[in-house]
């Protein structure tokens, strides 16, 4: 079993988001970067599947050299080796093309992703890679079990779930429930330093989309406090003033 796990390097969830250069650049000053939390679930699942010599887990990141601490963290958690495509991940289409280019010759049985990155929230790369490689893609997976040459996955839908059977290889994006996140132990951290990390060049991809600028949400009006002894005043305000009930 060969599994490729694609990871993003994202701002820590506690980051206060600000921008510079006339709101055209994300302000990364003082920002801590982490493995995208959903990607960490995908990685944990891959390690579970391959545990006890049943396979190998490779992690792939499209990023510049500054993402290497995040890649080493993935190796410390338990990935066997890593690939970094040396390029700025400018958009999902670009990233998906880089991943597909690496994966097409890798002979992977499955390619796992997080359901979305917590910076751009696109939920795009998994399905794009699936399409580029002409393999199934299953998005927002809460459960994944292998059954011989097939896999059974549970996908989240509005108010329920869909159970899907797929042949290998496939691409899937993982959500909460698929695995418990793993914490690297001392042995993992030590061995991560010497595990192979290959850096490859990026390929050219046609430009289809670009960010013009960013906005922060408009500040809300000040809060209207209602005394706890008069909850009917709240209902009245929601009905007559806010008109939401």
- The residue among 34 and 197 lying less far from other proteins, judged by its C-beta, is 34
Nearer to other proteins, 151 or 197 (CB): 151
Q: Which is nearer to other proteins, 81 or 162 (CB)?
A: 162
Residue 173's alpha-carbon distances to 41, 93, 216, in angstroms, are: 10, 16, 28
Distance CA 226, CA 232 (A): 10
Residues 46-75 that bind other proteins (CB under 8 A): none
Is 201 exposed, middle or buried (CB count within 10 Å of its CB: 0-12, 13-18, 19+)?
Answer: exposed
Burial level of 62, CB count in 10 A (0-12/13-18/19+)? Answer: buried
> Binding other proteins by CB under 8 A: which of 17, 190, 199, 203?
17
Of 165 and 201, nearer to other proteins (C-beta) is 165
Q: Which of 48, 64, 109, 156 binds other proteins (CB under 8 A)?
A: 156
Q: Could you give the CA distance from residue 149 to residue 109 in angstroms, rounded to a whole number? A: 10
**Minimum CB–partner distance for residue 91 and other proteins (Å):** 8
Q: What is the token pair recorded at 93? A: 């289409």
Residue 149 found at the interface with other proteins (CB under 8 A): no
* Shortest CB 2 distance to other proteins, Å: 18
CB 192 within 8 A of CB 75: yes
The DSSP H or E segment spanning 139 is: strand 137-147
Told to check if 79 binds other proteins by CB under 8 A, we report: no
Select the residue interacting with other proteins from 1, 2, 19, 55 (CB under 8 A).
Answer: 19
**Which residues 81-140 are close enough to bind other proteins by CB under 8 A?**
92-93, 96, 118-128, 130-132, 134-140
Tell me, by CB under 8 A, how many residues bind other proteins.
81
Helix axes of 37-50 and 68-77: crossing angle, nearest 10 degrees: 40
Q: Contact between 30 and other proteins (CB under 8 A)?
A: no
What string marks each residue from 170 to 209 as x (binds other proteins by CB under 8 A) or -? Answer: x----xxx----------------------------xxxx
Q: Is 166 in the site for other proteins (CB under 8 A)?
A: yes
- Residue 4's DSSP bridge partners are 58, 111
- Shortest spacing between CB 125 and other proteins, in angstroms: 8
Work out which of 66, 81, 88, 162 binds other proteins, going by CB under 8 A.
162
The DSSP secondary-structure symbol of 89 reads -
User: Alpha-carbon distance 111 to 5, whole Å?
Assistant: 6
């Amino acid at each position: 079993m060969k599994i490729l796990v694609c990871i993003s390097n994202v701002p820590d969830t506690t980051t206060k988001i600000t921008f510079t250069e006339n709101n055209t650049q994300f302000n990364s000053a003082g920002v801590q970067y982490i493995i995208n939390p959903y990607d960490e679930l995908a990685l944990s699942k891959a390690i579970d599947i391959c545990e006890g010599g049943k396979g190998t887990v490779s992690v792939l990141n499209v990023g510049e050299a500054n993402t290497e601490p995040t890649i080493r963290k993935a190796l410390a958690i338990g990935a066997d080796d890593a690939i970094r495509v040396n390029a700025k991940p400018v958009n999902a289409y670009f990233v998906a093309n880089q991943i597909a280019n690496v994966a097409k010759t890798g002979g992977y049985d499955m390619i796992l992703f997080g359901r979305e990155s917590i910076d751009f929230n696109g939920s795009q790369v998994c399905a794009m890679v699936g399409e580029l490689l002409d393999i199934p893609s299953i998005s927002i997976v809460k459960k994944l079990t292998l059954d011989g040459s097939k896999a059974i996955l549970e996908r989240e839908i509005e108010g329920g779930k869909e159970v899907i059977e797929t042949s290998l290889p496939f691409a899937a994006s993982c959500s909460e429930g698929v695995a418990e996140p793993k914490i690297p132990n001392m042995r993992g951290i030590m061995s991560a330093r010497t595990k192979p990390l290959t850096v490859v060049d990026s390929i050219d991809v046609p430009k289809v989309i670009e960010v013009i600028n960013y906005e922060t949400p408009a500040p809300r009006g000040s809060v209207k406090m209602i005394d706890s002894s008069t909850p009917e005043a709240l209902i009245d305000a929601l009905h007559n003033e806010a008109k939401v009930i």
